[in-house]
């Protein structure tokens, strides 16, 4: 065991981030840390690294354990080249190499036995510690993380913040501490670099504790999940998918037990009300006894944790459009002497769900923007909605409400406030200025605006950036149910797998196509096991099968949309039923016959609608 945390708690004033957190980190173990934004993940890292003290509890580390933490601004002002800055992690080997060169020079004109022995000892240490390969490993890591050969010679102080972060990540990975603390290590990386990072961390001898929203990464790399939820730290064995499975099962069992128990509590409460109405001494004693029974049950009852208010998303496609959504033929784009892409040609058909992949800087976002600005030929009735990861559609000088008010002047204030409430902007929060919002909040405003537009063709540029895990899953569910057409750019491999039925990928300044999701694409790229014609627009006899698959996928999306709407109606009716039943049980209602009759009739009507909705749900669920 390298590290053990016992009963960790951290509070800031009256706000408690987490409490009673206990976990262990074993040698070589890979651990994912997850939780909503602001739950305390980065604070937990600060405590583990010793930069911050817990409010209570403690961390015990094995003797001599080294912990490496990703620095944010360590090489900001460095004048070294990218390669030489990264080599600083091997400074001891560099010094040893210089000493060996001096000894080698000295031995050219000497047979001093002590010098010979010293040179042998130094050389053995140099070879044992990786001296023969440290420069090659450094170069390989920098290329793997996404730098080009030319960029290795660039001065660090001239690099972007994202590039400097990649250097710091390389330095941490190459330093091989006993425990690596990695906070969102896949940020700033394209898919090829993320694939390299997956492999590097998984094969590293170091233990790694990783904060990440990248579910595909968490599935491939980690064997344990530390979840910070509801103010508690809980440990789960397995990867992210296993965590979801176990968590959902636990929550379902707890909720089922809670509902069964509460039904019994309500039954006993009805007995108490009846006994109190009779108001005899024996009845009063019975009521008191039953109340004690309820108190005992509730004291032992585990109340299900209630999730933070969900963003409830539902994309609708307005109007009818042709089957031909977009056609692009021979598109080309350059900036000065730099060619981004040429001879880009592809067609998009109705209900296609296309993800565009490629290295950073290859032209993905540029192509999406060009399409938004009119590149290509749109089909009849096609309306185009655009989501920009940077929120360029938002006016920094406006409030959230003003942004929507100006975008949708035909909608009432109530409609706009209701829409914003779905994205957790309630009350005075709608009057926050756009300039003060976090990246995640801006993404939610942009998504709200996009949903209100009800376009039938969505262009999405990194839609999951800035969103936490829960929000990403909600967005995916909404897009899976969307009956329109999607063209998106994303580095989120989990998202790509869920949404894509076609992949467009940049290579050699042009765009090729592969049908299927991310796993299909990566198997093709790595194994080259698919036939060469898979990169062509038509697949011969396979084209018919593909069309059938698309039609079936569209049918399933339609059914899922109907199920979601049906579930929302059931929830609404169940809530209405509970409210009417609560009102009927009030003493003043019981005494008012006319009111009681009206409420009873309303209750029967709600029950009929609820039964019909439940029957519809069951029928849809079997399709």
Per mean pLDDT, which of 13-17, 485-489, 548-552 is the most reliable? 485-489
pLDDT, tens digit, for every residue of 443-464? 889 999 999 999 999 999 999 9
CA pair distance 485, 354, nearest whole angstrom: 8
Topology alike, domains 43-244 and 324-537:
yes
Mean pLDDT of 507-529: 83
CA pair distance 301, 257, nearest whole angstrom: 9
| Packing angle of the helix pair 161-175, 191-203 (nearest 10 deg) | 20
Of the CATH numbers 2.170.150.20, 2.40.10.10, 3.40.30.10, 3.40.50.300, which one belongs to the domain with range 43-244? 3.40.50.300
- Cβ–Cβ < 8 Å for 233, 21: yes
Return the ∠ at Cα 494 (arms to 489 and 497), rounded to 5°. 75
Helix (H, G, I), strand (E, B) or coil at 33: strand
Beta carbons within 8 Å of 393's beta carbon, 6+ residues apart: 386, 446, 449
End-to-end CA separation in angstroms for the chain: 51
Phi and psi torsions of 547, nearest 5°: -65, -40
Beta carbons within 8 Å of 229's beta carbon, 6+ residues apart: 35, 36, 39, 305
Give the pTM.
Answer: 0.77
Mean pLDDT of 117-128: 92
pLDDT, tens digit, for every residue of 391-428? 888 999 999 999 999 999 999 999 999 889 888 888 99
Least confident stretch, 11-25, 215-229, 373-387, 578-592: 578-592
Residue whose C-alpha is closest to residue 189's, from 138, 145, 154 = 145
Q: Taking the domains of the chain in order of start, what are their residue ranges?
A: 43-244, 324-537
The per-residue pLDDT of the chain, averaged, comes to: 88
pLDDT, tens digit, for every residue of 310-319? 556 788 898 8
CA pair distance 321, 457, nearest whole angstrom: 10
User: For position 553, what pLDDT does the model report?
Assistant: 67
CA pair distance 316, 325, nearest whole angstrom: 17
Length of the chain: 623
CATH 3.40.50.300 fits 324-537, yes or no: yes
């Amino acid at each position: 065991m390298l590290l053990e945390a016992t009963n960790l708690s951290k509070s800031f004033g009256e706000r408690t981030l987490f409490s009673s957190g206990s976990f262990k980190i074993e040698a070589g173990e890979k651990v994912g840390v997850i939780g909503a934004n602001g739950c305390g993940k980065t604070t937990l890292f600060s405590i583990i690294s010793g930069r911050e003290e817990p409010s209570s509890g403690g961390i015990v580390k094995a003797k001599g354990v080294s912990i490496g933490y990703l620095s944010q601004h360590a090489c900001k002002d460095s004048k070294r080249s990218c390669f030489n800055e990264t080599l600083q992690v091997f400074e001891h080997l560099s010094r040893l190499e210089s000493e060996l060169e001096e000894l080698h020079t000295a031995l050219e004109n000497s047979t001093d036995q002590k010098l010979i022995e010293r040179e042998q000892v130094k050389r053995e240490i140099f070879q044992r510690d990786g001296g023969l390969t440290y420069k090659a490993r450094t170069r390989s890591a920098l290329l793997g993380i996404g730098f080009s050969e030319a960029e290795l010679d660039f001065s660090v102080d001239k690099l972007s913040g994202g590039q400097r972060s990649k250097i710091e990540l390389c330095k941490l990975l190459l330093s091989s501490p006993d425990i690596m603390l990695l906070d969102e290590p896949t940020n700033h990386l394209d898919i090829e670099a993320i694939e390299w990072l997956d492999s590097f961390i998984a094969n590293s001898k170091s233990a790694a504790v990783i904060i990440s929203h990248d579910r595909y990464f968490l599935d491939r790399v980690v064997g344990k999940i530390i979840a910070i939820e509801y103010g508690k730290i809980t440990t789960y064995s397995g990867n992210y998918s296993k965590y979801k499975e176990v968590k959902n099962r636990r929550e379902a069992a707890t909720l089922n037990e809670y509902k069964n128990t509460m039904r019994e509590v309500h039954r006993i409460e009805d007995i108490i009300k009846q006994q109190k109405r009779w108001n005899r001494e024996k009845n009063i004693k019975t009521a008191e006894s039953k109340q004690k029974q309820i108190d005992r049950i509730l004291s032992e009852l585990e109340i299900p944790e209630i999730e933070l208010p969900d963003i409830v998303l539902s994309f609708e496609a307005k109007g009818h459009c042709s089957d031909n959504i977009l056609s692009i033929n021979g598109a080309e784009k350059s900036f000065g002497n730099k060619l981004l892409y040429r001879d880009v040609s592809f067609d998009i058909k109705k209900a296609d769900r296309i993800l565009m992949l490629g290295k950073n800087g290859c032209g993905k976002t540029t192509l999406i923007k060009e399409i938004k600005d009119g590149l290509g030929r749109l089909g009849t009735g096609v309306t185009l909605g655009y989501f920009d990861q940077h929120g360029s559609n938002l006016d920094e000088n406006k409030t959230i409400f003003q942004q929507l008010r100006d975008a949708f002047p035909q909608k009432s204030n109530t409609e706009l406030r209701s829409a914003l409430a779905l994205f957790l902007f309630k009350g005075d929060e709608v009057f926050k200025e756009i300039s003060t919002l976090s990246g995640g909040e801006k993404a939610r405003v942009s998504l709200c605006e996009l949903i209100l537009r009800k376009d039938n063709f969505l262009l999405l540029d990194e839609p999951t950036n800035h969103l936490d895990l829960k929000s990403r899953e909600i967005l995916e569910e909404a897009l899976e149910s969307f009956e329109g057409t999607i063209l998106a750019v994303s580095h989120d491999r989990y998202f790509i797998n869920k949404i894509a039925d076609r992949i467009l990928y940049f290579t050699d300044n042009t765009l090729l196509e592969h049908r299927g999701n991310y796993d299909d694409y990566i198997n093709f790229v790595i194994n080259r096991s698919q036939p060469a014609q898979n990169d062509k627009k038509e697949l011969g006899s396979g084209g018919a099968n593909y069309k059938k698959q698309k039609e079936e996928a569209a049918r399933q999306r339609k059914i899922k949309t109907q199920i979601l709407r049906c579930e929302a109606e059931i929830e609404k009716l169940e809530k209405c039923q509970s409210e009417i039943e609560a009102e009927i049980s009030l003493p003043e209602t019981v005494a008012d016959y006319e009111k009681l009759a009206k409420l009873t009739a309303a209750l029967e009507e709600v029950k009929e609608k609820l039964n019909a909705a439940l029957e519809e749900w069951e029928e849809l669920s079997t399709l």
